[in-house]
Amino acid sequence: MTDTAERVGAGRYIESAEVPANTVTSVHELDTHDGAKVTGVLRTVPGAQTVVSLMHPRQDLTHHVLVPELLARGFAVWTQGTRSVNNDIALVHEQALLDVAAGQVFLRDHGFEPGVSLGHSGGGTLFAFYHQQAGLPAAQRLTRTPAGRPVDLGGADLPLPGAAIFMAPHPGQGALLLRSIDPSVADESDPLSVTKELDPFSPANGYAEPPESSSYSADFVTAYRAAQRDRIARLDEIARARVSNAAAARHRYKASGDAGDRRASLAPRVLTVYRTDADLRFTDLSLSANERPYGSLFGRRPDLTNYGLVGFGRLSTPDAWLSTWSALSTNADFVRCAPGVTVPSLFIELTGDQACFPEDAAAMFGALGASDKTSVRVAGTHFGGPIAPGAPTGSSLAAAAIGEWLSQVPFGPR
């Protein structure tokens, strides 16, 4: 394997495969080191000796498009959720590592060794974080979350996969939100409040009506990104104050036994974070130029979806905000974790990605600690769609690259 990049052309794709008729599927409920319950689905085909694990911190990947592709190539596939699947309001990444570990222990104990981790989108940072922590001596692993809650990573069994695949990984939930949060929110309690000088959807600042690409000045981009960082810092202050208030209430309760203090310690104090779909690159295609379509992951009209209910980090406990969504506080950052990924690694960049931009891909691939690493570019959008109508899907192109790479990768000992 070489530390080089290549673009996989349309002539090398394989159409999306059907699940082989001889696939055996089983569902497993697992106990994590800290007593949570998680569920995984194991699919095997005759002769499969290598298992590929797909996980995402927030989403259910049971029916991920790569599942039939991998099975058709003779690999077993493990898809697993975390304890926060499809409901990330309380997602703490340090706890999610214990969820990953439960699945890896199960696979090891059932004879699949070494395994392969495959992180798509947010699953990329989840697995990079897991590799980093699993590769450390137990005494050096994290013992607390960013909110100060204890987490026993050192006492947990964290089997290390023998290889790692990253498909369209974004740089981390926090890093992603840092670029997509709207800094023009003037009042955190008012979703319609706007600081006009920072409004990304104002023609005065370079915005153009869709589908025409906007054109923001370099000065506006610089001011906008600085203001995004400032807003994250302000939200961090709010989250830390709420964590502190809850801790103080717990302390009072231990001393007083008063039910009111107990209630105060349990009150969730959920953060509502308005307008988180406002990366300038969604509407100005000249910024971080690639083959992406106009719009965001949530739709073709960020000027509208930014004000809607959906979006990253919209509702979050203070603990989850600091662990997952704050670029300033999270431990789950791809570039910071990547040096701990030392097993053979494949990095797949999608040429029309709306979440992993070219400079992100270069930084993430460069940060990987593996001496044996390969970077491949395939035509497609972030979720593996085609780059243009009638073109092969990014997922089918990625599957071909994965199959070829896995047929050559030299698995090392754990």
Please give the Cα distance from 296 to 272 (Å, whole number): 21
Predicted local confidence at residue 411, as pLDDT = 65
- What sign for the dihedral angle of Cα 41, 45, 49, 53? negative
**Where do the domains of the chain lie?**
5-172+331-406, 176-325
pTM over 0.75: yes
pLDDT at 17: 64
The residues that bridge with 373 in the sheet, in sequence order, are: 345
pLDDT of residue 268: 77
The single-letter code of the amino acid at 37 is K
Q: Which two tokens stand for residue 90?
A: 């309380």
CA separation for the pair 132, 335 (Å, rounded): 11
Say how far apart CA 308 and CA 304 lie, in whole Å. 7
What are the structure tokens assigned to 263, written together?
């209630």
CATH 3.40.50.1820 applies to domain 5-172+331-406: yes
What is the full per-residue pLDDT of the chain (414 aa) written as tens digits?
A: 444 444 444 333 434 567 899 999 999 999 999 999 999 999 999 999 899 999 999 999 999 999 999 999 999 999 999 999 988 899 999 999 999 999 999 999 999 877 999 999 999 999 999 999 999 999 999 999 999 999 999 999 999 999 999 999 999 999 999 999 999 999 999 999 999 999 999 999 999 999 999 999 999 999 999 999 999 999 999 999 999 999 888 899 899 999 998 998 888 789 999 999 999 999 999 999 999 999 999 999 999 999 999 899 999 999 999 999 999 999 999 999 999 999 999 999 999 999 999 999 999 999 999 999 999 999 999 999 999 999 999 999 999 999 999 989 876 443
Q: Which token pair is 117?
A: 């981790």
Report pLDDT for 2.
45
Other Cβ atoms within 10 Å of 1 Cβ, number:
15
**What pLDDT was estimated at residue 347?**
98
**Phi and psi, residue 31, nearest 5°:** -100, 130
> What letter would DSSP give residue 204?
G
Task: Please name the residues in contact with 332: beta carbons below 8 A apart, sequence gap of 6 or more.
Answer: 57, 93, 125, 126, 129, 172, 173, 174, 323, 324
pLDDT at 18: 79
Tokens linked to 144: 């607390």
Q: What is the pLDDT of residue 114?
A: 79
Instruction: Tell me how crowded residue 225 is: count the other CB atoms within 10 A of its CB.
Output: 15
